[in-house]
Amino acid sequence: KEGTLVAKGFDYVGFWHNGFAEVRMNDGTNPTNDTFNFINTEGKLISDTWFNWVGYFQEGYAPVERDFRGHKKRNFIDEKGQLLLDKWPEWVSLFVNGFAQVSNGHAYNFVNKKGKLISNTWFEEAGNFMLRKDSMLTASVTIGDDYYYINTSGDIVYGDY
């Protein structure tokens, strides 16, 4: 097939997703020394930082992971290679309807695309924000043994169900 080669010099190039492809490099000393980054459609790395793992871009952000002295933490990278969060949580989800789940290792909260937590409350479980029939975005959460729906400000809008 005809086309333009945009990526070379990497150990692996993943599938294109939303204009970006995952790339992998290894220093050759150990198979677990893989590091990951993204390239754009011009074949340019989007970040100077290499990560231990990368997800894929959705709604302008991709989850990334780094190892801090044997402790893995996650964050988000935007399409320009900038990190979204000041602090690295234990785990992050993909963005869905403008919000992503984050975990401190014990409970869950949500961040918006400005990197701000939407609530001071942390939840035992949390689902994605979904659009209801009445056009309100809500997410299911649990506090203790009780289930609730919260809005995008983190306020409970429907009680125990």
How does residue 158 score in pLDDT terms, banded at 50, 70 and 90? confident
CB 13 within 8 A of CB 20: no
State the pTM of this model. Answer: 0.88
CB half-sphere exposure, 95, CA atoms < 13 A: 22
- Calpha distance 55→40 (Å, rounded): 15
Q: Where in the chain does DSSP place strands (E)?
A: 12-17, 20-25, 35-39, 53-54, 61-68, 71-78, 91-92, 99-103, 108-112, 125-126, 130-131, 137-143, 146-150, 156-158
For residue 23, pLDDT beyond 70: yes
The whole-number pLDDT of residue 149 equals 94
> What is the percent of the chain where pLDDT is above 90?
80
User: Looking at residues 109-136, what average pLDDT do you find?
Assistant: 95
What spatial distance separates the first Cα and last Cα of the chain, rounded to whole Å? 56
User: Looking at residues 48-69, what average pLDDT do you find?
Assistant: 95
